[in-house]
Amino acid sequence: MKLDASRPLEYATEENRNRILGFWIFLGAEIALFSTLFTVYFVLVNRFASGPSGSELFEIGPVLAETFVLLTSSFTIGLAIHAMRHQYKKAAMVFIGVTLLLGLVFLGIEIMEFFTYVHEGATLSTSAFLSSLFVLLGTHGAHVTFGLLWGSAILIQLSRHGFTPETANKSFIFSLYWHFLDVVWIFIFSFVYLKGLM
């Protein structure tokens, strides 16, 4: 394994560079996945049958809280990678921990939202609009859930091994994933919630 000292640790070997490239290609596939889910939602958004429409169902308060929490977590994972590049192991781990906690808060608010919707009689099978809404939000929420497990596993590895070419590479790739989830949420916030409430 040849280490290239002119590059940050996560790029230092050819294998590391290939892993990062591969993950970006995966993110390209994720863009295609979420595009299809947005497509279904946009086509079915007015087919609310006898159930509620978006403007009747959505409330801006919790959605703004979700947005703020996720934007902040995207900021802290960015800080974690920055700290990693300056060899601040403890600070990087704290930032990753804060990111995961914020992710947990986001997930909690989203689950409470889902409970509220179902309580108001808006379930997955109520209308085509709600099916497409729950599938779009649920796929994003499932990604966040997976991210929480993934990030926790990386934290354990960091506490055991510190920053090696392997763990630095894993941490960086996780940060790409987390920023991507934030991007997807921005589009949900804008074109599902804000557009629905307009």
Partner 1 sequence: MLKELFPIRHVVGFISSLLLTAAALSVLVFDLPFGVDMGILIVTAVLQASLQLFLFMHIGEEKTTKTTLYLNIAYALFVGLVTIFGTLYIFVWGWYS
Interface residues with partner 1 (CB under 8 A)? Answer: 7, 11, 17, 20-21, 24-25, 27-29, 31-32, 34-36, 38-39, 42-43, 60, 64, 67-68, 71-72, 74-75, 77-79, 82-83, 86, 88, 91, 175-176, 179-180, 182-183, 186-187, 189-191, 194-195, 197-198
For the chain, the three-class secondary structure string (H helix, E strand, C coil) is CCCCCCCCHHHCCHHHHHHHHHHHHHHHHHHHHHHHHHHHHHHHCCCCCCCCCHHHHCCHHHHHHHHHHHHHHHHHHHHHHHHHHCCCHHHHHHHHHHHHHHHHHHHHHHHHHHHHHHHCCCCCCCCHHHHHHHHHHHHHHHHHHHHHHHHHHHHHHHHHHCCCHHHHHHHHHHHHHHHHHHHHHHHHHHHHHHHHHC
Nearer Cβ to partner 1, position 91 or 101?
Answer: 91
C-beta of 172: minimal distance to partner 1 in Å? 9
- Minimum Å distance from CB 86 to partner 1? 5
- Cβ at position 92, least distance to partner 1 in Å: 9
Q: How far apart are CA 174 and CA 180, in angstroms?
A: 10
Tokens 């863009």 map to which residue? 31
In the complex, least distance from residue 88 CB atom to partner 1, rounded to whole angstroms = 7
The overall longest dimension of the chain from CA atoms, in Å, is 64
From the CB of 198, what's the least distance to partner 1, in Å? 6
CB of 124 to partner 1, least distance (A): 22
| 153/197 with CB nearer partner 1 | 197
Nearest Cα to 3, choosing from 156, 175, 163?
163
